[in-house]
Amino acid sequence: MLEMKLFLKRLFKITGVALLVLIILGFLLVDFIDRTPLKQLTAYQETMQSLEDSTYTVLQGDNPIKAGWAAVNITPNYPAPLAGYGIRKEFSEVNDSLFVRAVVFEKDKKVYAMVSYDLMVVPKVAIEKITGKLPFLAPHHLYLSATHTHSGYGGWEGTFLGQVITGFANETTIEMLSKATQTALEKAYASRKAISMEYGTITAPQYVNNRLSKGKKDDGLRFVRLRPAQGPSAIITTYAAHPTNINKKLQILSGDYPGILMAQLESSPSIDFALFAAGMVGSHSPNYNIGGKDIPRAKKIGEGLANLLIEQMDSVAIPSKSSGIGMIHFPVHVHEAQFRIDQDLRIRHTVFNLLTGGLTPKVSAFQVGDLFFMGMPCDFSGEIYLDHSIEKIAQDKGLFPIVTSFNGEYIGYIIPDKYYDTVKKHETREMNWFGPYQEEYFVSIMEKILSKWPSTQ
C-alpha cells in the first residue's frame, strides 16, 4: 500500500512537471491570431506614409527604347532536390531543360532589366552574388520573377524554412545560378536594339480554375511583344494557372506548362525568344479536367496557350504610344507573422523569424512604354485583382497593368480576406503568413502607387 502511494505521488509529480513544461513551451511558441484592424497597425501607417512621400520618376522623351534578350540553360548535370509541394527527393529524370531568361531595356543610357527563372521562386542568393558585377545595371533597376514550376529544383535557399521547402543549400547550385544569371544579362545587354512594343490580353478560360472557391478566375493570357525593325520578336507573357500539372510523387524535372509554352513560341519563325513570369497564381490552379495528366496535360496547356498567342496576337495587339521608362521598389512594412496552427492560434512571431531569418518584402513597379509591371512578394491572387479597381486606375493613367508574383522576396499567399476564416485550405492556412487583412493591405499599396505614378496621357 505504501509503495502504491509513493508510486502515485511520483506519477502526479512527473505529470505536473510535464504539464508545466508544456504550458511554458506553449507560452513561448504559440500565440493568438492578432485581429487588430489593419489601419490601426503601425506597419500599415508607415508603409502608406512612405508611399506618399516617395519620389516617382519616369524617364520621358522621344528617344526610342532599346531592348535585348537572352536565355541561359540552368539544368543541373548532377542530382538536385526537387522544389515544390514540400520536402522532396532528387530528380531522376529531365523532361525538359530549365533556363534563366533576361530582357534588358535601355533609354538614354539608363538600363533596366527583367529576369525570370524556370524555378518555383527567385533564388535570391543568385542575385545577391552578382550585385556590383554588372557595370551597366544598377541593382535597383532589376525586376524579378519566376515561372513557379513545382517540378523545378532547389538547393539554393539558406534559411531553415527555405530548406524545408527547397532542399538543403548547395554551393555548386548557387554558384551555377549566379553565373547563369550574370551571363544572361550580359548577353541581353550586348544584343540590345531599337524596338517597338505591343501588348494585349487574350482570354483563355479553358486552361485555368479558381482552386479556392467557385468565385471569379483570372483567365487573361497577357503578353508584350518587342519588335525590332528587322528579325524575329521577343514575347513576355503571364498567366494565372499554377504550374502543378506533374504529380509530386514523380521525380521529373520540368518547367511544366510555362516551359512548354515558351518552347512552342520559340519554334515560331517570327519569335526567337519568350519569357514567362508567373501571373496572379494565388487562388488559381490549372484546369485538371482539360485532359490527360502530368506531362501530357502540361503539354496540352502549354501548347494551347502558345497557339492562342501565335494565332491572336496580331488581331488584339495594341501599339505602345509612350517611350517612358522607370522602376521603383517599395519596401512593405509587415506586422507580426500569423503562421497559423489552428483557427485562432499561430506560431509566435519571434519563432517564425528564427525559421525564416526575417522577411523584408517589397512591391516592384516597372513602367516601360505603356506597360506597367507590378511585382508582388507572394503568390498573389487574381481574384483580388478582379474585385478591385487596379486596372481602371492604371488605364486612367494611360498604363496597361501586368501583375506578376515572386519578385525576389516571399511572404506566402495573398488571398481574398473573405476566405481567411471560411476556407480551410493550404492557401488560407499554412501559407497565409500575414493574414487576416492582406488583401486590404496590398490593394491599398497598389492603388496608392498607381495614384502617385506619373500619367502618360
Task: At 155, list the grid cell.
Answer: 538547393
Within a domain: residue 32?
Answer: no
Report residue 246: phi and psi, to 5°: -95, 125
Task: Please say if the pLDDT value at position 17 is more than 50.
Answer: no
Q: Span 267-294, mean pLDDT?
A: 95
The per-residue pLDDT for range 98-149, each reduced to its tens digit, is 999 999 999 999 999 999 999 999 999 999 999 889 999 999 999 999 999 9
Determine how many CB atoms are found less than 10 A away from the CB of residue 13.
Answer: 10
Residues 6+ apart with CB under 8 A from 343: 33, 421
Mean pLDDT of the chain: 91
Within a domain: residue 139?
Answer: yes
Work out the pLDDT band at 289, boundaries 50, 70, 90: very high
Q: Give me the percent of the chain exceeding a pLDDT of 90.
A: 76
Task: At 130, list the grid cell.
Answer: 552578382
Work out the pLDDT band at 18, boundaries 50, 70, 90: low
Rounded CA gap, 315 and 221, in Å?
14
Rounded CA gap, 263 and 140, in Å?
30
The per-residue pLDDT for range 419-433, each reduced to its tens digit, is 999 988 888 888 898
Report which DSSP code applies to 139. G
The pLDDT assigned to 419 comes to 93
What is the count of structural domains for the chain? 1
Within a domain: residue 286?
Answer: yes
Work out the pLDDT band at 44, boundaries 50, 70, 90: very high
Task: Please say if the pLDDT value at position 317 is more than 50.
Answer: yes
Rounded CA gap, 217 and 280, in Å?
10
Work out the pLDDT band at 27, boundaries 50, 70, 90: very low
The pLDDT assigned to 341 comes to 86
Does pTM top 0.85 for this prediction?
yes
3 state SS of 276: strand
Within a domain: residue 77?
Answer: yes
Report which DSSP code applies to 141. G
Within a domain: residue 344?
Answer: no
The pLDDT assigned to 3 comes to 57
The per-residue pLDDT for range 323-378, each reduced to its tens digit, is 999 999 999 999 998 888 888 889 888 888 888 888 899 999 999 999 999 999 99
Q: Span 183-187, mean pLDDT?
A: 98
Work out the pLDDT band at 28, boundaries 50, 70, 90: low
Work out the pLDDT band at 163, boundaries 50, 70, 90: confident
Task: Please say if the pLDDT value at position 8 is more than 70.
Answer: no
**Buried b / exposed e along 416-436 (16+ C-beta atoms within 10 A):** bbebbeebebebbbebbbbbb
Task: Identify the residue with better confidence: 403 or 357.
Answer: 403
The pLDDT assigned to 21 comes to 47
Alpha helices by DSSP H, listed for 72-156, are 124-130
Within a domain: residue 37?
Answer: no
Rounded CA gap, 3 and 287, in Å?
68
The per-residue pLDDT for range 192-212, each reduced to its tens digit, is 999 999 999 999 999 999 999
Host domain of residue 261: 58-331+359-457
Task: Identify the residue with better confidence: 25 or 390.
Answer: 390
The pLDDT assigned to 437 comes to 94
Report helix, strand and coil shares of the chain as percent, to nearest 5.
35, 25, 40
Within a domain: residue 28?
Answer: no
Within a domain: residue 453?
Answer: yes
Task: Please say if the pLDDT value at position 25 is more than 50.
Answer: no
Bridge partners of 346, per DSSP, are 31, 340
